[in-house]
Amino acid sequence: MKKTKEIKSLKAVAKGKEPHRRHEEPHDLLTEHTHLSQNAVSAAPLPSEKENLGDRIRRAREMRGLTLKDLSSRTGIGIEVLQRVESNAMIPPLGELIKLGKAVEMKMGYFISPGVEKPMTVVRSECRPAISRHGKKRSEQYGYSYESLAAEKANRFMEPFLITMVPSSVTELSTHDGQEFIFVLEGEMRAQVRDQVEILKAGDAVYYDSSCPHLVKCAGEKPARILAVLYTGNK
pLDDT at 220: 87
- One-letter amino acid at 42 equals S
In this structure, is residue 187 part of a structural domain?
yes
> Over the stretch 152-170, which tens digit does the pLDDT of each residue have?
888 788 889 999 998 888 8
Secondary-structure percent of the chain, ordered helix, strand, coil, rounded to 5: 30, 25, 45
Asked whether residue 82 is assigned to any structural domain, the reply reads yes
- Asked whether residue 218 is domain-assigned, the answer is yes
Residue 50's pLDDT is: 58
Longest dimension (CA), the chain: 78
Query: What local confidence, expressed as pLDDT, does residue 25 receive?
Result: 29
Helices 53-63 and 79-86: crossing angle in degrees, nearest 10, is 120
Pairwise CA distance, residues 218 & 167, whole Å: 5
Calpha distance 105→226 (Å, rounded)? 28
At 216, which helix (H) or strand (E)?
strand 214-218
Residue 28 to residues 9, 45, 46: CA-CA distances in angstroms?
Answer: 30, 11, 8
**Would you say residue 170 lies in a domain?**
yes
Task: For 90-139, write each residue's pLDDT tens digit.
Answer: 878 888 888 898 899 887 777 877 667 788 888 888 877 666 533 344 44
Q: Taking a C-beta distance cutoff of 8 angstroms, is the pair 54, 86 a contact?
A: yes
- Supply the range of the domain harboring residue 85: 33-231
| Residue 20 counted as domain residue | no
What is the side-by-side strand order in the sheet with 144-148? 144-148, 158-165, 224-231, 179-186, 205-209
- Three-state SS for 62? helix
What's the CATH number where 153 sits? 2.60.120.10
| 235 residues of the chain, pLDDT tens digit each | 544 444 444 444 444 444 433 333 222 222 222 222 223 323 333 344 457 889 999 999 999 999 999 999 999 999 999 999 999 888 788 888 888 988 998 877 778 776 677 888 888 888 776 665 333 444 445 567 788 888 788 878 888 999 999 888 888 898 888 999 999 999 999 999 999 999 999 999 999 999 999 999 999 899 999 999 998 775 5
The angle, 0 to 180 degrees and rounded to 10, between the axes of the packed helices 79-86 and 68-75 is 110
Count of domains for the chain: 1
Question: Torsion over CA of 13, 16, 19 and 21, rounded to 10 degrees?
Answer: 130
Residues 127 and 101: beta-carbon distance below 8 Å: no
Cβ neighbours of 75 (radius 10 Å) = 20
Please check whether residue 2 lies inside any domain of the structure.
no
